[in-house]
């Protein structure tokens, strides 16, 4: 992702889109998506944790840097949102080893492949 040209600009035209002070409860559509995310996270965890993957790395929408989220934190954050609780945006990740984290897309592909193998086993 290219760096935000307004990153250090106090007049960032998008800054009003970031309501940090006030928590906005998820919409019904977002709740459906969150439930889907939660079951995906649990599936990914069951597939990847035994292989040494500790969680998911994703680009932070606020600072546009890669942040790493352990499986527990992913589940906790999604559950918090479903309970109408705000979540901390920045997770402590100072001693994180990026090798232990994969992208969401990687997980989706991995789960697809694992599912395909699962199906083939019964043919
Ligand atoms: Zn960030």
What's the average model confidence in pLDDT over 71-92? Answer: 84
Structural domain contains residue 6: no
If you measure from the C-alpha of residue 43 to the centroid of ligand 1, how many angstroms do you get, rounded to a whole number? 25
pLDDT at residue 16 greater than cutoff 60:
no
Structural domain contains residue 2: no
Which 3 state secondary structure label does DSSP give 53? coil
HSE-CB for 48 with a 13 A CA cutoff? 26
How many separate domains does the chain show?
1
Structural domain contains residue 64: yes
Percent of the chain at pLDDT above 70?
A: 71
Residue in the block written with tokens 């292989």: 51
If you measure from the C-alpha of residue 88 to the centroid of ligand 1, how many angstroms do you get, rounded to a whole number? 10
If you measure from the C-alpha of residue 59 to the centroid of ligand 1, how many angstroms do you get, rounded to a whole number? 8
Structural domain contains residue 13: no
Radius of gyration of the chain (CA): 17
Structural domain contains residue 11: no
Structural domain contains residue 55: yes
81 and 27 Cβ atoms separated by less than 8 Å: no
Residue ranges making up the domain that contains 34: 23-121
């Amino acid at each position: 992702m290219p760096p935000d040209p307004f990153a250090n600009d106090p007049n960032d035209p998008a800054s009003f889109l970031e309501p940090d002070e006030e928590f906005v409860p998820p919409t019904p559509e977002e709740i459906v998506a969150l439930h889907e995310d939660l079951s995906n996270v649990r599936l990914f965890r069951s597939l990847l944790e035994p292989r040494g993957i500790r969680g998911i790395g994703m680009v932070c929408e606020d600072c546009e840097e890669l942040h790493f989220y352990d499986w527990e934190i992913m589940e906790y954050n999604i559950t918090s949102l479903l309970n109408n609780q705000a979540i901390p945006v920045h997770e402590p990740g100072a001693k994180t080893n990026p090798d232990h984290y994969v992208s969401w897309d990687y997980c989706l592909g991995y789960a697809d492949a694992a599912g395909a193998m699962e199906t083939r086993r019964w043919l």
